[in-house]
Amino acid sequence: MSNLPERRFLHHRHERFWVALILFAFGVFVAWHATSYELGSLRRMGPGYFPLILGLAQCLFAIMIFVSPQPPSDFDASEIPDGDLAAEKGNFQTKLRAFGFILGAMIIFAAMIRPTGFVPATAVATFVAGLAEPDNSIWDLVLLSLGITVFASLVFVVGLGVPVPLVAF
């Protein structure tokens, strides 16, 4: 697995440093922001007291990550030897494509659901998400979008009464 691009990042020898640094920075931010609220005392805690503790704890654990040994490599099913690992090598571009289309589909859904209603948002989101996989033909996706739109409209809007119009223009 170590020759996958994403795994290469993962096994980078500075990985521990960056993980610790980002979490440390997050802890500092939480603690710093907490001081803008009233702290109060242990006896009568203000809204800032607990966040301050959490921020400092986060810094402490970040340091712990930095000084503790490198964790064992990820156990997931893709690591169970199967002999065809070479064939399934994903590359950076496929991942980028997956990222873009899947997240894009969700952003489109969020943007469309109010102005256009349920049907257009669902159909477009399904279609765009499907583009994440290069093997999907346009026809596959058109049929898939149609099917899922009809199904979801019946179940969620007609059946359950989710308060959103089917089509709103």
Partner 1 sequence: MDGITQLIAGFSSALTLSKLGYCFFGVMMGMLMGVLPGIGAMATIAMLLPVTFYVPPDAGLIMLAGIYYGAQYGGSVASILLNLPGTPSSAIICLDGYPMKRQGRAGPAIFLTTIASFIGSFIAIALLVGAAPAVARLALKFGAADYFSLMIVGLVAAASLTRFGIARGLAMSTLGLALGLIGTDVATGTYRYTFDNMQLADGLSVVAMAMGLFGVAEIIHMVGSRGARHGTVAKVSLRDLVPTKADLKQTPAPIIRGGLLGAVVGALPGTGASIGAFMAYGLEKRISSVPKKFGTGHVPGIVAPEAANNSAAQASFIPTLTLGVPGDPVLALMMTALIIHGIQPGPTMIAEHPEIYWGLVASFVIGNVLLLILNLPLIGIWVRLLQVSYRLLFPVVITLICIGVFAVGNSPFQVLQVVVFGIVGYAMRLARLEPAPVLLGFVLGPMVEENFRRALQLSRGDLMVFLERPASCAMLVFAISIVLFSLWTGHKNAPQKELSA
Which residues from 7-46 bind partner 1, rule CB under 8 A?
9-11, 15, 18-19, 23, 26-27, 30, 33, 37-38, 41-46
- Please return the burial class of 130, using the count of CB atoms within 10 Å of its CB with bins 0-12, 13-18 and 19+: buried
- Angle, helices 92-116 vs 118-130, to 10°: value is 170
Select 81 or 169, whichever has its Cβ closest to partner 1.
Answer: 81
Of the candidates 14, 135, 139, 169, which one interacts with partner 1 according to CB under 8 A?
135
Q: Residue 95's closest CA among 69, 143, 132? A: 132
The footprint of partner 1 on this chain (CB under 8 A) covers a number of residues equal to 87
Quickly count: other Cβ atoms within 10 Å of residue 6's Cβ: 11
Question: Is residue 158 part of the contact set for partner 1 (CB under 8 A)?
Answer: no
- Please return the burial class of 13, using the count of CB atoms within 10 Å of its CB with bins 0-12, 13-18 and 19+: exposed
Residue 128 CB, nearest distance to partner 1 (Å)? 8
Q: State which of positions 51-110 bind partner 1 (CB under 8 A).
A: 51, 54-55, 57-58, 61-62, 64-65, 68-78, 80, 82, 84, 87-88, 90, 94-95, 97-99, 102-103, 105-107, 109-110
Q: Could you give the CA distance from residue 55 to residue 120 in angstroms, rounded to a whole number?
A: 43
Residue 135 CB, nearest distance to partner 1 (Å)? 5
Residue 152 CB, nearest distance to partner 1 (Å)? 6
